[in-house]
Amino acid sequence: MSFSWSRSGNDSDESSSHGIVTTIIISSISGFCFFCCCFCVYKIRSSIRRVRVRNLATINAERARQYEILIHNQSASIIPDDLLELHLPKIVFDQSQVDWEAKTCCICFEDFSEGSEVRKLICKHIYHSKCIEEWFKGSIDIPRCPVCKANPFNGISDNSDLLLSPQSPLLVE
């Protein structure tokens, strides 16, 4: 077998050269289309990524603003100090006057010491004076007892089934 690279007018040579040219053109067009598709996918994904980053930055800014508002609101107590002193006066803790062994503040988990200032809520739970003041300051709406959720300013509990029994060591008579 011998191959000849001459430019003869042979039909088989012309059809094979047309086939090669057609294959090259179709391959080039296909490659260009593939490149365009890849480029479009890249642009769409980068656009989506930019939108996500922008939305995340907006969400973080909104959270920071809400946190600042919360901190600002917590610094101003919803209960005036004179009302707190009127309804829940500070008393000096005396273990001998406590029927049940109320030894620990449920907010800070520290033991009460003789002579420390405490406040006794209407539900008979006692807390360090500073602890319950901070607890009430952190309340968003109506301040509640940390243990039984009773409103200390009217003695009504929304969760009467959660009230502690008289045998509870946290209650004082």
Contact 143, 135 (CB under 8 A): yes
Q: Which of 44-53, 72-81, 82-91, 144-153 shows the lowest mean pLDDT across its residues? A: 72-81
Q: What's the rounded Cα separation, in Å, for the pair 133 and 87?
A: 13
Query: How much is the pLDDT for 103?
Result: 77
User: Does the structure show a pLDDT above 70 at 161?
Assistant: no
Query: How much is the pLDDT for 76?
Result: 54
CA distances from 100 to 68, 81, 90, 107 (A): 42, 29, 20, 18
Q: Which of 38-42, 92-96, 112-116 shows the lowest mean pLDDT across its residues? A: 92-96
Query: How much is the pLDDT for 109?
Result: 86
Query: How much is the pLDDT for 157?
Result: 42
**How confident is residue 111, by pLDDT bands cut at 50, 70 and 90?**
confident
User: Does the structure show a pLDDT above 50 at 122?
Assistant: yes
Closest CA to 126 of 144, 112, 115: 112
Query: How much is the pLDDT for 167?
Result: 40
Segment 77-82 mean pLDDT: 63
Q: Is 75 exposed, middle or buried (0-12, 13-18, 19+ CB in 10 A)?
A: exposed
Contact 126, 94 (CB under 8 A): no
What are 134's two structure tokens? 């901070």
Contact 127, 134 (CB under 8 A): no
pTM greater than the 0.95 cutoff: no
Which tops the pLDDT comparison, 171 or 84? 84
**How confident is residue 74, by pLDDT bands cut at 50, 70 and 90?**
low
In one letter, which amino acid is 172?
A: V
Closest CA to 126 of 149, 154, 107, 139: 107
Which tops the pLDDT comparison, 85 or 42? 42
Q: What's the rounded Cα separation, in Å, for the pair 105 and 128?
A: 6
Query: How much is the pLDDT for 132?
Result: 86
Contact 144, 151 (CB under 8 A): yes
User: Does the structure show a pLDDT above 90 at 23?
Assistant: yes
Which tops the pLDDT comparison, 36 or 124? 36
